[in-house]
Amino acid sequence: MADAAPIDVRTSPDRYRHWKLALENGVAYLTMDVNEDGGLRPGYKLKLNSYDLGVDIELADAVQRLRFEHPEIGAVVIRSQRDRIFCSGANINMLGLSSHDHKVNFCKFTNETRLAIEDATDNSGQSYICSINGIAAGGGYELALACDQILLTDDGSSSVSLPELPLLAVLPGTGGLTRLVDKRLVRRDHADFFCTTAEGVRGKRARDWRLVDKLVPPSKLVDETKTFAEEIAAKSDRPKDAKGIALPTIERTIDGDTIRYPHLAVEIDRERRAAHFRISGPTVPAPANAAAVQDQGVAFWPLALARALDDAMMHLRLNETEIGTWVLHSQGDASQVEAYDALLAKEASNWLAREIVLYWKRTLKRLDVSSRSLIALVEPGSCFTGTLLELVLAADRSYMLDGTLEGSNLPEAEVRLTSMNFGPYPMGNGLTRLATRFLAEPKHIDELKDEIGESLDAETTEDLGLVTFTPDDIDWDDEVRLVIEERAGFSPDGLIGMEANLRFAGPETMETKIFARLSAWQNWIFQRPNATGPEGALKLYGTGKQSKYDRKRA
């Protein structure tokens, strides 16, 4: 698919083309009704409720809005407007026309959206229920798998399937295989049959094999879904009488190679294939309590910055694929950042504070799985404290200036730990970034807790293992320049593989399996001629022609 206008992930319900959102008695109904002519790019039609990135951008927006704008919602039902069709998955013609990097970015974003659905169920008291009224194939069933409960109409024809291997010579792109056996605990032999049978499984077998949770007669699907969802919503701990906060379109301006947001500017250095993220600390003191946070709404500094950082990462992922290194900077008052962390920790039981912390957790995870080299620079005047220190801990390499720069009146670089570094922001492996960093020294984590609130200079920070190198002002410019230029000279494919392997030490979880295996198969199977060659299954799908496979197993 030829390059076109930049992809923008910012949207809102009044601009949705593929989803309808309705709220009733504590339940949100997200109804899929894909506009066939509403593809993100020209050249394909979104038939049979198939989807492209544009469809998923709207879904991700809805999931986010329900968490922040509707505290009264305790359950979300995902369903279809189409008769006998729930969702036929990712649009095959779109995949056939797309560049490799677009396919990978598309699959990664849909995965992050489905993980956000699971996070809402697990941590926000907003349980997701999928009500399937017909065919749920491929990515359609993967969407169902992200939900906590799956209801299937028992009409003799409605089915669930993962037909990617027999039909397309590829694999499910949104974690379907992993969720099948790790989340729903489907037996391996049953899963093998299921994933090699294009027509899928229906009725009693689908329920008995744990592919779905409940069978419902067609005439009762709407009513039983409603009753079931309302019962779950009634048990939610979300405040039924609280007022949500609106999420207006994120303010963003693009001026040449500079992207500006409130509290963040991204400067692109095309010669070195690097993007410099310049984060600004808060300019006003932290509010006194959760009620004051509610009054500030999206202007509340941690929320405004998370939204900016999240959008910037997606913009660069989708539209600046040759910018392979992200350099992380900060400037501001570390004490004010510390005060905002203290407020979020104090108000942890408040629904809105909880959502802001969870949003930061998801944003940091998005940074972890972005296929970019991450370099953190702790400079004079920086404010890498608590939540912002997580960016340094997420980096592949970090540099902290020892001393000051000649001719600068900025104070010496420092970092500070807060309680937010010790639990609220786990990585995909279930560990904090500190615990992942010090797998060989678990007792060191307790020692670091003694440093909470202390201003740590370069020498101390290096001794504690929180940064990689601490050059002085004589070596600073050369070392920073060399690491950025070195990164630009390596193979991007090799860097992606290396970084993904090194970032997630420790235990394997469903989430790390999804991203690790997804990256492996996408960067191999998606480029093999059996799938994408001129006689590959993905290219010939729908033509009636038989694919010709290279039969060697490697």
What does the pLDDT look like over 155-187, one tens digit per residue?
A: 999 999 999 999 999 899 889 999 999 999 999
pLDDT tens profile 423-459: 999 999 999 999 999 999 999 999 999 999 999 999 9
What number is the average pLDDT over the span 102-107? 91
pTM of the model: 0.96
Let me know whether 150 and 182 are in one domain.
yes
- The confidence score (pLDDT) of residue 480 equals 98
Residue 2 pLDDT: 42
pLDDT tens track for 287-335: 999 999 999 999 999 999 999 999 999 999 999 999 999 999 999 999 9
- Cα–Cα distances in angstroms (integers) from residue 478 to residues 324, 329, 411, 483, 486, in the given order: 20, 17, 21, 9, 12
* Per-residue pLDDT at 348 exceeds 90: yes
State how far the Cα of 48 lies from the Cα of 40, in Å rounded to an integer.
16
3-state SS, 230-297, equals HHHHHCCCCCCCCCCCCCCCCCCEEECCEEEECCEEEEEECCCCEEEEEEECCCCCCCCCHHHHHHHH
* Residue 118, domain member (yes or no): yes
Tens of pLDDT, residues 266-281: 999 999 999 999 999 9
Shared domain for 470 and 422, answered yes or no, is yes
> How do residues 22-65 score in pLDDT, each as one tens digit?
999 999 999 999 999 999 999 999 999 999 999 999 999 999 99
Q: Summarize pLDDT for 195-237 with one digit per residue, the tens.
A: 999 999 999 999 999 999 999 999 999 999 999 999 999 999 9
Q: Could you tell me which residue, 148 or 169, shows the higher pLDDT? A: 148
Is residue 378 a part of any domain in this protein? Answer: yes
Q: 534 and 401 share a domain?
A: no
Residue 243 belongs to a domain: no
- Report yes or no on 522 lying in a domain: no
**Do residues 261 and 224 share a domain?**
no
> At 148, is the pLDDT very low, low, confident or very high (cuts 50, 70, 90)?
very high
Q: Are residues 43 and 128 in the same domain?
A: yes
Residue-wise pLDDT for 126-140, tens only, equals 999 999 999 999 999
**Which of 376, 370, 358, 337 lies closest to 425 in space, CA to CA?**
358
Indicate the range of 9-13, 105-109, 374-378, 460-464 predicted with least confidence: 105-109
| pLDDT for position 539 | 84
Q: How far is Cα 339 from Cα 335, in angstroms, rounded to an integer?
A: 6
Q: Name the average pLDDT for the chain.
A: 95
Helix (H, G, I), strand (E, B) or coil at 194: helix
At 379, the pLDDT band (50, 70, 90 cuts) reads very high
Q: H helices of 320-350, where?
A: 334-346
Per-residue pLDDT at 525: 81
The answer to whether residue 511 is domain-embedded is no
| pLDDT of 522 strictly over 80 | no
Pairing of strands 75-80, 127-132: parallel
- Verify that 191 and 298 share a domain, yes or no: no
Q: In angstroms, rounded to a whole number, what is the distance separating the alpha carbons of residues 533 and 169?
A: 11
Calpha distance 538→256 (Å, rounded): 37
Same domain, 349 and 226: no
Of 206, 234, 262, which residue is a domain's last? 234
Structure tokens at 182: 């790790």
CB 456 within 8 A of CB 398: no
Domain with residue 399: its CATH number is 3.90.226.10
Give how far Cα 103 sits from Cα of 52, 75, 340, 349, 419, Å.
10, 31, 38, 39, 39
pLDDT value at position 471?
98
Per-residue pLDDT band at 1 (split at 50, 70, 90): very low
In terms of residue numbers, what domain contains 544? 528-554
In this structure, are 278 and 417 located in the same domain?
yes
User: 243 burial class (0-12, 13-18, 19+ CB within 10 angstroms)?
Assistant: exposed
Nearest CA among 106, 119, 114 for reference residue 142? 114
Percent of the chain clearing pLDDT 70 (strictly above)? 99
* Same domain? 327 vs 201: no
Residue 473 lies in a domain: yes
Cα–Cα distances (Å) from 171 to 99, 175, 492, in that order, read 17, 9, 24
Q: How many domains does the chain have?
A: 3
Together in a domain, 423 and 460: yes
Three-state SS for 374? strand
Residues 407 and 548 in one domain: no
By C-alpha distance, which of 277, 276, 267, 272 is closest to 489?
A: 272
pLDDT at 3 over 70: no
- Considering the domain architecture, whether residues 374 and 421 belong to the same structural domain is answered as yes
Is 241 a member of any domain?
no
Average pLDDT over residues 488-515: 92
Nearest 5°: the CA angle 301, 306, 356 is 75
pLDDT tens-digit profile of 59-98?
999 999 999 999 999 999 999 999 999 999 999 999 888 8
Average pLDDT over residues 387-408: 95
Q: Is residue 377 part of a domain?
A: yes
pLDDT of residue 96: 84
* 323 or 532, which is more confident: 323
Query: Quick check: 4 pLDDT over 90?
Result: no
Identify any residues that bridge with 208 across adjacent strands, giving them in sequence order.
Answer: none
